[in-house]
């Protein structure tokens, strides 16, 4: 590609180059251009005559090369939208995905149903997208968010600060809820749930943190460990929301039933009509 093309010429060639790898190539190269030129994507689309500087063209070509290598777009721009908010992301955290919004929506519905219940935990917080989204939309709620990764928690803290919820979201470095003695009304968790044997066939495993994807031999090892510890920190009548792989609903429900025999257990589907979240509503009696 020649130096200093117009923006429109760069977009056209980049789209044609990337089209074999993505059904949304046009949108993705526009997002790259918006990131480099520091303009909204609508402006990028409306100003194809703009002449790129040598520096801009070089930066765009470098990013396009990385996109062609398979690097996820959010890692190149450093941001991803989730539940209507923009989150910082880096290779230290899992990229927030639309299917996880199913869990957040369920959490908000539960908290609105039980307004007196306001102690929430987000286990394996990563970028902090679940904790921040809940706190942002529920001003009376306090959230404790945990992760074993110090680097992930640094990203989460910046997202907490970005959205003005630092007075209600506390971050702690630990495995699951091992360092937490308090009781919680609602516990949300998007833990690793991909079986180790399937990671080689999972595209995100090339670039996203393996520890956030690897669910052990069964795929639900971390989920089971969290549930086994649940009677220690869940209040009577509390609720647990667990994101799962599409084929794990029955197994995770059975594990939960063994720990909370009287609980009401539901499997919620995402927008693609796949099983995505297990909801465990416990009774008011002590576990």
Specify the pairing of strand 234-243 against strand 275-281: antiparallel
3 state SS of 275: strand
Farthest CA pair distance, the chain:
71
Tell me the helix, strand and coil percentages in the chain, rounded to 5.
45, 20, 35
216 labelled as ligand-binding? Answer: no
- From residue 36, alpha-carbon distances to 28, 91, 257, 281 in Å are 13, 19, 51, 47
Please give the radius of gyration of the chain, using alpha carbons only, rounded to the nearest integer. 21
Question: First-to-last CA distance in the chain?
Answer: 66
Taking the C-alpha atoms of residue 174 and residue 98, their distance in angstroms, rounded to an integer, is 26
127 labelled as ligand-binding? Answer: yes
Taking the C-alpha atoms of residue 38 and residue 52, their distance in angstroms, rounded to an integer, is 13
133 labelled as ligand-binding? Answer: no
125 labelled as ligand-binding? Answer: yes
- From residue 207, alpha-carbon distances to 71, 163, 211, 245 in Å are 7, 27, 12, 19
What residue has token string 């190149």? Answer: 76
147 labelled as ligand-binding? Answer: yes
Cβ–Cβ < 8 Å for 80, 128: no
100 labelled as ligand-binding? Answer: no
Cα torsion at 13, 14, 20, 25 (round to 10°)?
A: -120
DSSP state of 73: H
197 labelled as ligand-binding? Answer: no
Binding residues for S-adenosyl-L-methionine: 124-128, 147, 190
Binding residues: 124-128, 147, 190
């Amino acid at each position: 590609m020649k130096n200093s093309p117009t923006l429109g010429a760069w977009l056209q060639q980049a789209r044609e180059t990337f089209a074999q790898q993505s059904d949304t190539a046009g949108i993705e190269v526009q997002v790259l251009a918006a990131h480099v030129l520091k303009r909204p994507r609508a402006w990028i689309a409306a100003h194809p005559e703009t002449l790129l500087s040598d520096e801009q063209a070089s930066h765009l070509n470098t990013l396009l090369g990385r996109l062609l290598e398979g690097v996820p777009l959010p890692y190149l721009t450093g941001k991803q939208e989730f539940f209507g908010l923009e989150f910082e992301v880096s290779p230290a955290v899992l990229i927030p995905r639309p299917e996880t919004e199913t869990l957040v929506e369920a959490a908000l519905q539960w908290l609105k149903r039980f307004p007196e219940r306001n102690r929430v935990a987000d286990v394996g917080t990563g970028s902090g997208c679940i904790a921040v989204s809940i706190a942002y939309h529920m001003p009376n709620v306090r959230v404790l968010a945990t992760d074993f990764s110090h680097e992930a928690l640094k990203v989460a803290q910046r997202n907490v600060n970005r959205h003005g919820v630092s007075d209600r979201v506390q971050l702690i470095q630990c495995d699951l809820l091992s360092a937490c003695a308090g009781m919680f009304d609602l516990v949300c968790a998007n833990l690793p749930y991909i079986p180790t044997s399937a990671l080689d066939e999972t595209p995100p495993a090339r670039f996203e943190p393996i520890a956030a994807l690897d669910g052990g031999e069964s795929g639900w090892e971390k989920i089971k460990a969290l549930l086994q510890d649940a009677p220690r920190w869940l209040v009577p009548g509390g609720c647990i929301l667990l994101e799962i792989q599409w084929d794990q609903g029955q197994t995770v429900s059975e594990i939960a039933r063994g720990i909370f025999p009287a609980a009401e257990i539901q499997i919620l589907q995402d927008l693609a009509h796949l099983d995505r979240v297990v909801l465990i509503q416990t009774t008011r009696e002590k576990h």
